[in-house]
Each structure stands twice: as structure tokens, then as C-alpha cells.
Amino acid sequence: MSIRITKDISIAARLLTEGKLVAFPTETVYGLGADALNPIAVRRVYEAKSRPLDHPLIIHVGYNDLIDEFAVDIPNSAMALVSRFWPGPLTLVLKASEKVLPIVTGGQDTVAIRCPAHPMAMALLKEFAGGIVGPSANKFGHLSPTKAIDVDNDFGSEVDLILDGDACAVGIESTIVGFDGELPVMLRPGMITRETISTVISKEVLDVGPKPPRVPGSLPSHYAPVTKLVLLEADDIRQYLKENAGSHDFALLTFESFSELHPRIRMIIASRAPKDYAKNLYQWLRELDGVGAKVIIVEAVPATDAWDGIRDRLGRAAC
């Protein structure tokens, strides 16, 4: 194990103060952290990720009241979501305060803020006592990391420290909600679902209008393994397997086993529970990416609210 991978929160907080890059675990995915008020450190985050400067970053905060430091004119419905879901996998896009650096927001007048629930992230934010920018700790367009080793594989010595908080419990990125007045707007689906949000604040959740804010997660090629990925219904998978008997060019991620049709193919049988599926999704894709197949075939997931975030990530990976 690299000495840069540690569980020492004090060292991590000190390095952030010195303007260094520290990858840290959250309950969703690992983030690539830097001091949100240090423009040089924030620029290094974009450079390390090879991320265009106009794709804004999320500021992670440790205390619910830090929201007032970075956001102004906060809608009541946003505060209702904060009290229900923070700390947790929900990011709110709000009007930015003057304190927020333009490099964090890509020059927009809004800022994305979230209070993560992972105990190590919470301890780090408490010790650092400030906002930490944290895009997912992967190179632009790669799969998001859900283990410390994933971060190490993508960045090596480009990050100064990786805090190891074991495997992420949620497994896909946070739900992102913006606001049109008091009405929530779904910018990125996640494991806190549209129906749950709607129920908590007794308001309809709007879709992004024709001119969406810049969300790199909404670029088609995001969250993709290197191997081509296709999404198919179970019947179409059965048909494909019959037509490709004897081939070893593909790997499968499915709900049911097709092993009687293809005994020697690399196959992962996924959980039918969305929480378990999300927790494992990126590790499954990494594993299937590594088997040397020409294509990863993924069985389409249910078209229900609970699967929205997962369906979104799979859809982008399949582009």
C-alpha cells in the first residue's frame, strides 16, 4: 500500500490548509478535495482531473450552518431538504455568496453545496473547519471511485494524500437539486429519489428545462468504462447469446443467470435491490472492464423511481 493512502484525518486537514489535494471518502463516491477558498488549490483539482474550467465543483460543508457562508437567498424548500437529508447524498444548487470563488462555480451565479454523511468526511470537514471542493476523484469521463485504490489507480502521485474510508455505502453520486423559486428542479438523479423529495416538501419536482445549467455529469460520455457497454432487455440478451454461441467477446451484468446458454462467459448476477445495485455498480463495471471483453452487456434496470439514478449512470455509460 502506498504511504499516501492513510486513515489519518489530522494530516489530511493540514495538507488541505497548505493548498494540497486530498482525496477523501464520502458515502456516495470518493471526492478530490481542496480548500474551497484557495484558488490555486482549486485550479489544481481541475488540472488533475483534466476537467474543463467551465464545469463547476461541489463545495462540501461539515456543518449545516456553513451553508450560509456559501449561499444566499436560500429557498425555504431547500432548507426543508437540508433538515431532512443532510448529512447525506443530496447536493443543492443555490445562489452563491460573494465568498464563493468564480473558479469553483465556473463563473455562474449559483453554487452546488453538499454535507456528506461518511464519518471520515464529517471528521475531516470538522477538523478543517471550512468548505472543501470535491468533484468525484476520477479523471474526466472515467468511472467514479468507490474505493481508495480506485483513486490511486487514476491519479497516482497527482494527489497528495488519499484518505481511506473503505468502500462507499451509496455507491453512485449524489442527487443534485436546483430551484426555480421554491420549486425543486432535478439536475442529477441519485439514490434520494424524486418521489422522496416531492413527498418531503409537498411540491412537484421539475425537470431541467430546455437550457440546462452546465452539468458535466450530463455529458453523454460520462461514467463510462473503457469497454463498449450496451443495455439490453433480458429477452434480447437471450437472443444475443443464442446468436453468439461459442463467442467469448462479451461480459454480462444481469439480474438472472444465463449460464446455461453460455457457461464460460464472465457474468455478474446483480442484486434486484436498487441500494445493493448502486453500492456495487462501479466496482462491477471496473471488474467487467478488466476481463478483456469487446463489449459489456448490461440488463436494463426497472423504469421506476428507485432506479432513476442507476438508470441515468448506465444510460451515460452506454453512449
**Partner in contact with 110, chosen from ligand TXA, Mg ion, none, beta carbon below 5 to 8 Å by kind:** ligand TXA
Choices 14-22, 148-156, 215-223, 278-286 (CB under 6 A): range interacting with ligand TXA: 215-223
Tell me if 248 contacts ligand TXA by CB under 6 A. no
The yes or no reply on residue 315 touching ligand TXA (CB under 6 A) is no
Asked if residue 216 binds ligand TXA (CB under 6 A), the reply is yes
Q: Measured in whole angstroms, how far is the alpha carbon of residue 28 from the centre of its chain?
A: 6
By a kind-dependent CB cut-off of 5 to 8 A, residue 244 interacts, out of Mg ion, ligand TXA, none, with none
Q: What is the DSSP string of the chain?
A: --TTEE--HHHHHHHHHTT--EEE--SSS-EEEEETT-HHHHHHHHHHHT--TTS--EEE-SSGGGHHHHEES--HHHHHHHHHH-SSSEEEEEEEPTTS-HHHHTT-SEEEEE----HHHHHHHHHHTS-EE--BSS-TTSPPPSSHHHHHHHHGGGSSEEE---S-SS-SPPEEEEEETTEEEEEE--SS-HHHHHHHHTSPPEEP-SS----GGGSTTTT--SSEEEEE-HHHHHHHHHHTTT--SEEEEESS--TTT-TTS-EEE--SSHHHHHHHHHHHHHHHHTTT-SEEEEEPPPSSGGGHHHHHHHHHHT-
- Part in contact with Mg ion (CB under 5 A); list of ranges 128-136, 200-208, 254-262, 306-314: 128-136
From the list 8-16, 27-35, 198-206, 260-268, the region that binds ligand TXA by CB under 6 A is 27-35
- The footprint of ligand TXA on residues 96-115 (CB under 6 A) is 105, 108, 110-112, 114
User: Pattern of binders to ligand TXA over 142-181, x per CB under 6 A?
Assistant: -------------------------------xx-x-----
193 binds ligand TXA (CB under 6 A): no
Max CA distance (Å), the chain = 62
Q: Please identify, among the stretches 22-30, 158-166, 194-202, 249-257, the one whose residues bind ligand TXA according to the rule CB under 6 A.
A: 22-30
Instruction: State the minimum distance, in angstroms, from the CB of residue 173 to Mg ion.
Output: 6
* Shortest Å distance, C-beta 109 to ligand TXA: 8
Query: Under the criterion CB under 6 A, does residue 58 sit at the interface with ligand TXA?
Result: yes
Q: Which of 28, 77, 105, 136 is in the footprint of Mg ion by CB under 5 A?
A: 136
Q: Does 29 bind ligand TXA (CB under 6 A)?
A: yes
Residue 270 main-chain phi, psi, to 5 deg: -85, 155
Site residues for ligand TXA per CB under 6 A: 26, 28-29, 31, 55-58, 91, 93, 105, 108, 110-112, 114, 116, 134-136, 173-174, 176, 187, 213-217
